[in-house]
Structure 1
């Protein structure tokens, strides 16, 4: 079965952000600026993206 996927790119640094935002980025697998990860597109991932939407870009 094919599942939908979403590409997420970290475009701003997590330094100086609130701890829960940094933890959300780490949970997404984003640690370095301009890093791109591919995740399964589900409600949990979409919620994480919404939490740090000002730091990431969905490709």
Structure 2
């Protein structure tokens, strides 16, 4: 793996009842069930996705 930073994201709220694009963003970050954790490269694209659904996730 490269020397780029890793960011851990946890899904803390259900995406049920949210916009379709927000649900797609949750899936795009690799999050499935409630409290699932995903480790991703810390890139501007990933940061933007986290910012879009910040009310659903927690950054660990």
The CA RMSD measured in Å over matched residues stands at 0.7
User: Counterpart in 1 of 2:10?
Assistant: 9
Instruction: Mark the runs of 5 or more structure 1 residues left unpaired by the alignment.
Output: none
The size of the alignment, in residue pairs, is: 59
User: Counterpart in 1 of 2:19?
Assistant: 18
Instruction: Mark the runs of 5 or more structure 2 residues left unpaired by the alignment.
Output: none
Give the CA deviation at 1:3: 1.3
- Partner Cα separation in structure 1 for residue 51 and residue 3 of structure 2: 24
For residues 9-59 of structure 1, give each alpha carbon's deviation from its aligned partner in whole angstroms, at most 9, with x where no partner exists: 000001111100000000001111000000000100000000000000000
TM-score of the aligned structures, taking structure 2 as reference length? 0.95
TM-score of the aligned structures, taking structure 1 as reference length? 0.96
